[in-house]
Structure 1
Amino acid sequence: MHRLAFCKADTAKFISHLDLMRTFQRSFLRAGIPIKHTEGFNPHAFVSIPLPLSVGFSSGCEVLECQVLNTPLEEVPDRMNAVLPAGITVKRCYEAVRPAKELCYVNYIVTLEYEAGAPFGAESAIQELLGREHLVMAKRSKKAKSGQVEVDLIPLIAKATVEERRDTIALDLILKAQNPGLNPELIVSAIRQHCPDAAPDYAIYHRRAVLDKNYEIWE
């Protein structure tokens, strides 16, 4: 098994997960890089992304798993970047060693933007909110009959730093990645619900790093 480390930025952040998978499949063909395919009557390229990124999020640490055939791994980034759309950049291709189950946390930078500048007291209000013992929010769930389940966000937040920066407030978050994971959009929803005076006009999401249980970089 091999892994491609890649970035997703600019307009590419609006490519959905399924479209991104198709984009990579086509790009392998255009780059002339053979990869392993599934068996059966309708074989398709075997590619997967362990932690799909939400539409509209940028990232500097995405990972795609595949099996490169008959191609030196060091040649893969340049050949893929020559055919991938703008905003998607492969940084390296390497042998996969650690299993995906060891991917435990994700580091996000969430920038809250305010057209009139950050409201007075917004930073402390958000710090107080994320420092609570419990913070229960409803989230969509396909498994629940009602279509929603309640989840306590606090146990899923390993670290939260709040910093006011002129007209914005930056949240540096380390969140559980899976089983269960926490999407930072739910934290922004909690701010809108519980701290309406601190509700941003816009929120920008960037995935900075994926981490193991010791908060070290997972690769």
Structure 2
Amino acid sequence: MTTHRLAFSKSDTAKFISHLDLMRTFQRAFLRAGIQVRHTEGFNPHAFVSIPLPLSVGYSSGCEVLECSLLGEPDLEQIPQRMNAVLPDGIHVYQCYAGGQPVKALQYVNYIVTLEYEAGAPFGAEGAIRALLSRDSLVMEKRSKKAKSGFTQVDLIPLIAQATVEERRDTITLDLVLRAQNPGLNPDLVVAAIRQECPDMAPDFVSFHRRAVLDDQLQPWS
């Protein structure tokens, strides 16, 4: 059976919808749009959908992907319009296509992380953060369900493929390409490293935006 993928964005208040609620939202949207999809088997069948790389709550994104299997002979060009008519504000499907690369080929994610400072970016912040991300090693502690202590240590540097730092008046923007899986790196841990290692450069507010999902050649995954 063909695997289909819906490319969609998640913004505004929709970025606060959790992963499980997002899955339910799409399941209901298929039903309301009259689009037939493969369902799970059992006593309480529901539309079989999956999101290969769940997005953290509070993050916006322009490159989310949902996998499903459309039944019959659907007009893929019409699917986005039909879905957008029944989806909540902030979730917008912009393409439906037959899946190509396997999920395991999704190796990197491009994030734009914006650090905001109420009193303006601290003097020397851009250089300090760039130096931090250029270290040979940057070990941080993070939560782990597998570790007996509940925490494990991870070196961030091998998981950062690219990092660009740009300072403006009240913000510092990080353009990061991070490992997506096995293991993946959440950009929130990069911000935690800044707070820990450069406390004078700690931002007052942070926003995260996922801009692209990439393969091992840093090309768009599809």
Q: TM-score, normalised by structure 1?
A: 0.99
Alignment match of 1:163 (pick from 153, 163, 166): 166
1:5 matched to which residue of 2?
A: 7
Segment drifting more, 196-205 vs 70-79: 70-79
The answer to whether 1:33 aligns with 2:35 is yes
1:49 positional shift: 0.2
2:112 matched to which residue of 1?
A: 109
Question: How far apart, in 2, do the equivalents of 1:121 and 1:191 lie?
Answer: 13
1:18 matched to which residue of 2?
A: 20
Gaps of 5+ in 1: none
Question: How far apart, in 1, do the equivalents of 2:58 and 2:42 lie?
Answer: 35
Matched pairs, number: 219
1:218 matched to which residue of 2?
A: 221
Q: TM-score, normalised by structure 2?
A: 0.97
Question: How far apart, in 1, do the equivalents of 2:140 and 2:6 lie?
Answer: 35
Matched-pair identity in %: 74
Gaps of 5+ in 2: none
Question: How far apart, in 2, do the equivalents of 1:97 and 1:127 lie?
Answer: 36
Alignment match of 1:68 (pick from 64, 67, 70): 70
1:23-172 mapped onto 2 (5 Å cutoff): 23-70=25-72, 71-172=74-175
Runs of 4+ residues over 2 Å off in structure 1:
none
Question: How far apart, in 2, do the equivalents of 1:120 and 1:21 lie?
Answer: 44
Q: Give the letter for the 1:178 counterpart.
A: Q
Alignment match of 2:196 (pick from 186, 193, 196): 193
Q: Give the letter for the 2:44 counterpart.
A: N
1:21 positional shift: 0.2
